Structure 1
Amino acid sequence: MVTGAGRGLGASIARSLADGGARVFVNDIDRDLAARTVSEIEERGGEAIALTGDVSSSVSVDELVGHVIDREGRIDWLVNNVASYVRHAGSFWETDPEEWERILRLTLTTTFLCSRAAAPHMVQRQSGRIVNIASQAAFSYVPWQGPHYHAAKAGVVHLTRTMAVELAPHGVTVNAMSPTAIEREGDHEGSAVRDAERGAIIDHIPLGRLARAEEAVAAVAFLLSDQASFVTGETLVVNGGVLGYGIRPPGGPVP
């Protein structure tokens, strides 16, 4: 099950896992986007099922995971990809409390709710993999992403560690993948990278470019694979060396 898989990185992850032989449940709150990803997977010879629903609702999440269990009898992998981002130009004290709550719910609480619903089934089978999508914003400053997004993604990293410790005795691993801005070829819908910001981001990435989707996807695939069976509670950073360096606004001071 891959959440937020109607477009962007989530869709790329779903397509890649299906290419590798997985039967993928494609979740998105938008029915048409979920169906589009399923169609793309089927055109490539893979198998996928659309799973439309709001993963910020505990009732909806229980129904979605229940559907997977009813159909398959198990859930092997969960990729928590759903998040919400809005441009934020002001200081943290100028952040609207309602917007703060919304971003945390869509970015952090969704990870908790989906993991909470899937984990008991994995524990029962003494097997499973959970990968949470974090962000460079969990570790370093990105001015236009705002305090709510930074806090939520940092929460994803620490929730990953907590879940990993609790699920390890049951043969279930939990890890995170933390990318920098991703170049989304052919699909720029919802991209957080605007033209005015692109140069500022690239200027602060030692490798001198944005990440390619396949590079982020490969990291997720590794964490789900048998090769990562002894890796848990970790965050695999895929950001071209920018960790800890931070990103400044265009024209801003270089650290």
Structure 2
Amino acid sequence: MKDETIEKVDAEIDGWQYMQALPEHWHGFTLDRSKSIDKDSYDLYRYVNEELHKSAIVYFHEETHEYKVRLKIGLIEFCRIEFITAKLADFEQLLVKQFEQMLMDMMEFNPAALSSIVRDKKIMEWENGAKLPETLEGFTLFIRPAQPVKINNGSYIVIDYVDFALESSFTVYYNIYRDEFFAEARIWNIPDVNYDFDSNELPELEEKLHQHMLPRLREVRARAQKEAADHAAKAQKEEGEPPV
């Protein structure tokens, strides 16, 4: 991030009363005031629930010169577009109106926050979705069809199996604009896509999960474990090499 951008943000948030008055604990989340700057974003603060693997981060995005909020749920991070604004005063108004409810919805499932299209698709009532195993091939069912999670661009997380130790997962989404289910894996938090699960209706998705989900989970685990082993071997080799 450019020095002038950092200086601009620092000047704008200096004495920002809203941020200074934030509660240390809020609806099950804990305030982390530590700032973090990377190549294009300046994280001002975050609310974190480590046990639930959820956090809400308030930040400035250099590329668009806007204040934003992004959520991290499990391994998946996404921006909440309703908070995007260029002026700090306008951003504060959005935070006052919507941020607390967002935390509440992250803490406890709120069906009212779902699109009517998702409800009409009967995802929450999906009988076989309710029978998904709690653990599968070493992955834990983190998000289930009975409680879909809204992300962005009209997509909802319907199923999410996660191994947090390996930072790897298998996720099924539903997109309301395309009226389509699709899936994505993450291997050490790097997305890995195939099209084996693309479906338009729940019975079609159910059949594809029956055919492909176990092999896909095994593949993700094997690749994640191999990558971890390769990194460990490389680190061990570098430690054993004599200085040049």
For this structure pair, what is the TM-score category when the shorter chain's length is used for normalisation? under 0.3
Q: Pick the structure with greater CA Rg.
A: 2
Greater helix proportion: 1
Bigger relative contact order (CA 8 A; separation at least 6): 1
* Bigger strand fraction: 2
TM-score (norm 2): 0.23
